[in-house]
Structure 1
Amino acid sequence: MPDQDTATPDRPARPAGPPTKHQLALMIWLCVFPTLTLINLTLADWLRPMSPVLRTFVLATIAVPIVVYGLMPQLHRIRSRILARSPRPNHAR
Protein backbone atom coordinates (compact mmCIF):
# COMPACT_ATOMS: atom_id res chain seq x y z
CA MET A 1 0.00 0.00 0.00
CA PRO A 2 1.51 3.40 -0.95
CA ASP A 3 2.34 5.89 1.78
CA GLN A 4 -0.49 8.38 2.33
CA ASP A 5 1.98 11.30 2.37
CA THR A 6 3.81 10.37 -0.83
CA ALA A 7 3.02 12.68 -3.74
CA THR A 8 2.15 11.16 -7.09
CA PRO A 9 1.20 12.87 -10.37
CA ASP A 10 -2.49 12.26 -9.66
CA ARG A 11 -2.26 13.04 -5.93
CA PRO A 12 -0.19 16.09 -4.84
CA ALA A 13 1.55 16.15 -1.47
CA ARG A 14 -0.51 17.19 1.50
CA PRO A 15 0.13 20.87 2.36
CA ALA A 16 2.25 21.54 5.42
CA GLY A 17 0.31 22.45 8.53
CA PRO A 18 1.08 25.49 10.64
CA PRO A 19 4.51 25.64 12.28
CA THR A 20 4.97 24.45 15.83
CA LYS A 21 5.78 27.03 18.50
CA HIS A 22 9.44 26.08 18.29
CA GLN A 23 9.53 26.32 14.49
CA LEU A 24 7.77 29.68 14.60
CA ALA A 25 10.17 30.99 17.25
CA LEU A 26 13.14 29.96 15.08
CA MET A 27 11.58 31.49 11.97
CA ILE A 28 10.92 34.78 13.77
CA TRP A 29 14.45 34.85 15.15
CA LEU A 30 15.88 34.15 11.68
CA CYS A 31 13.99 37.19 10.38
CA VAL A 32 14.27 39.62 13.29
CA PHE A 33 17.94 39.32 14.25
CA PRO A 34 19.43 39.99 10.79
CA THR A 35 16.87 42.72 10.08
CA LEU A 36 17.62 44.58 13.32
CA THR A 37 21.36 44.12 12.82
CA LEU A 38 21.22 45.50 9.29
CA ILE A 39 19.06 48.48 10.31
CA ASN A 40 21.33 49.20 13.29
CA LEU A 41 24.45 49.12 11.12
CA THR A 42 22.85 51.19 8.37
CA LEU A 43 21.38 53.87 10.63
CA ALA A 44 23.98 53.80 13.43
CA ASP A 45 25.06 57.44 13.09
CA TRP A 46 21.49 58.68 12.91
CA LEU A 47 20.30 56.48 15.84
CA ARG A 48 23.26 57.16 18.17
CA PRO A 49 22.01 60.45 19.71
CA MET A 50 18.52 59.04 20.40
CA SER A 51 17.41 57.77 23.78
CA PRO A 52 17.18 53.97 24.01
CA VAL A 53 13.37 54.08 24.02
CA LEU A 54 13.16 56.29 20.92
CA ARG A 55 15.83 54.19 19.18
CA THR A 56 13.86 51.02 19.93
CA PHE A 57 10.66 52.64 18.65
CA VAL A 58 12.34 53.66 15.38
CA LEU A 59 13.91 50.21 14.92
CA ALA A 60 10.63 48.41 15.62
CA THR A 61 8.69 50.75 13.31
CA ILE A 62 11.06 49.91 10.45
CA ALA A 63 11.71 46.23 11.25
CA VAL A 64 8.19 44.93 11.98
CA PRO A 65 6.71 45.58 8.52
CA ILE A 66 9.84 44.19 6.85
CA VAL A 67 9.59 41.00 8.91
CA VAL A 68 5.81 40.55 8.80
CA TYR A 69 5.14 41.45 5.17
CA GLY A 70 8.46 40.65 3.53
CA LEU A 71 10.46 37.97 5.29
CA MET A 72 8.00 35.74 7.20
CA PRO A 73 5.87 34.89 4.14
CA GLN A 74 9.06 33.84 2.34
CA LEU A 75 10.13 31.64 5.26
CA HIS A 76 6.66 30.04 5.41
CA ARG A 77 6.93 29.20 1.69
CA ILE A 78 10.43 27.77 2.14
CA ARG A 79 9.25 25.69 5.12
CA SER A 80 6.29 24.36 3.12
CA ARG A 81 8.56 23.36 0.22
CA ILE A 82 10.99 21.61 2.56
CA LEU A 83 8.21 19.71 4.31
CA ALA A 84 6.58 18.75 1.00
CA ARG A 85 9.85 17.20 -0.21
CA SER A 86 10.81 15.36 2.97
CA PRO A 87 9.06 12.08 3.75
CA ARG A 88 6.84 12.19 6.78
CA PRO A 89 7.09 9.42 9.34
CA ASN A 90 4.40 6.73 9.22
CA HIS A 91 2.04 6.88 12.16
CA ALA A 92 0.29 3.82 13.53
CA ARG A 93 -3.09 3.55 11.89
Structure 2
Amino acid sequence: MSASTAPAAPSVHRRALITWLAVYPTITLALSLLGSVLGGLALPLETLFLTAIVVPLAVYVIVPALMKANAHLTRR
Protein backbone atom coordinates (compact mmCIF):
# COMPACT_ATOMS: atom_id res chain seq x y z
CA MET A 1 0.00 0.00 0.00
CA SER A 2 1.47 3.35 -1.03
CA ALA A 3 1.41 6.58 0.93
CA SER A 4 -0.64 8.28 -1.79
CA THR A 5 -3.68 6.05 -1.30
CA ALA A 6 -6.88 8.07 -1.48
CA PRO A 7 -8.84 8.35 1.76
CA ALA A 8 -12.05 6.38 2.07
CA ALA A 9 -15.17 8.11 0.82
CA PRO A 10 -17.29 9.69 3.54
CA SER A 11 -20.35 7.81 4.72
CA VAL A 12 -23.66 8.30 2.96
CA HIS A 13 -24.85 10.34 5.96
CA ARG A 14 -21.88 12.69 5.78
CA ARG A 15 -22.29 13.05 1.99
CA ALA A 16 -25.96 13.91 2.53
CA LEU A 17 -24.97 16.55 5.09
CA ILE A 18 -22.31 17.97 2.75
CA THR A 19 -24.83 18.12 -0.09
CA TRP A 20 -27.37 19.84 2.15
CA LEU A 21 -24.69 22.32 3.31
CA ALA A 22 -24.08 23.14 -0.35
CA VAL A 23 -27.67 23.28 -1.56
CA TYR A 24 -29.60 25.03 1.22
CA PRO A 25 -27.45 28.18 1.48
CA THR A 26 -27.11 28.38 -2.30
CA ILE A 27 -30.87 28.21 -2.81
CA THR A 28 -31.42 30.74 -0.03
CA LEU A 29 -28.90 33.14 -1.55
CA ALA A 30 -30.27 32.68 -5.06
CA LEU A 31 -33.82 33.30 -3.85
CA SER A 32 -32.80 36.42 -1.97
CA LEU A 33 -30.91 37.79 -4.98
CA LEU A 34 -33.31 36.71 -7.73
CA GLY A 35 -36.62 36.50 -5.86
CA SER A 36 -37.90 39.84 -7.08
CA VAL A 37 -36.90 39.04 -10.68
CA LEU A 38 -38.32 35.52 -10.68
CA GLY A 39 -41.29 36.24 -8.42
CA GLY A 40 -43.62 37.13 -11.26
CA LEU A 41 -43.11 33.81 -13.02
CA ALA A 42 -45.18 30.69 -12.57
CA LEU A 43 -43.72 28.39 -9.93
CA PRO A 44 -42.49 25.74 -12.41
CA LEU A 45 -40.59 28.40 -14.39
CA GLU A 46 -39.19 29.97 -11.25
CA THR A 47 -38.02 26.52 -10.11
CA LEU A 48 -36.53 25.82 -13.56
CA PHE A 49 -34.43 28.98 -13.54
CA LEU A 50 -33.41 28.59 -9.92
CA THR A 51 -32.30 24.97 -10.34
CA ALA A 52 -30.49 25.84 -13.58
CA ILE A 53 -28.28 28.11 -11.49
CA VAL A 54 -28.05 26.21 -8.21
CA VAL A 55 -27.45 22.63 -9.41
CA PRO A 56 -24.35 23.27 -11.55
CA LEU A 57 -22.93 25.62 -8.93
CA ALA A 58 -23.44 23.04 -6.19
CA VAL A 59 -22.23 20.04 -8.23
CA TYR A 60 -19.15 21.58 -9.83
CA VAL A 61 -18.02 24.14 -7.25
CA ILE A 62 -19.48 23.91 -3.76
CA VAL A 63 -19.77 20.15 -3.11
CA PRO A 64 -16.22 19.44 -4.36
CA ALA A 65 -14.88 22.23 -2.14
CA LEU A 66 -16.78 20.87 0.87
CA MET A 67 -15.62 17.30 0.12
CA LYS A 68 -12.03 18.54 -0.03
CA ALA A 69 -12.48 20.37 3.28
CA ASN A 70 -14.05 17.25 4.78
CA ALA A 71 -11.09 15.12 3.64
CA HIS A 72 -8.68 17.65 5.12
CA LEU A 73 -10.55 17.69 8.45
CA THR A 74 -10.84 13.91 8.70
CA ARG A 75 -7.11 13.44 7.98
CA ARG A 76 -6.22 15.35 11.14
TM-score w.r.t. length of structure 2: 0.89
The answer to whether residue 14 in structure 2 is matched with residue 23 in structure 1 is: yes
Determine which structure has more spread, i.e. the larger CA radius of gyration: 1
Match of 1:59 among 50, 53, 58: 50
Q: What residue identity is the alignment partner of 1:47?
A: L
TM-score w.r.t. length of structure 1: 0.74
Q: CA deviation at 1:33?
A: 0.3
The root-mean-square deviation of aligned C-alpha atoms, in Å, is 1.6
Q: CA deviation at 1:12?
A: 4.9
Aligned to 1:70: 61
Q: CA deviation at 1:49?
A: 0.6
- Structure 1's unaligned 5+ residue stretches are 1-10, 86-93
Asked whether the equivalents of residues 31 and 72 of structure 1 are also in contact (C-alpha less than 8 Å), the reply is: yes
- Structure 2's unaligned 5+ residue stretches are none
Identity %: 32
The answer to whether residue 38 in structure 2 is matched with residue 47 in structure 1 is: yes
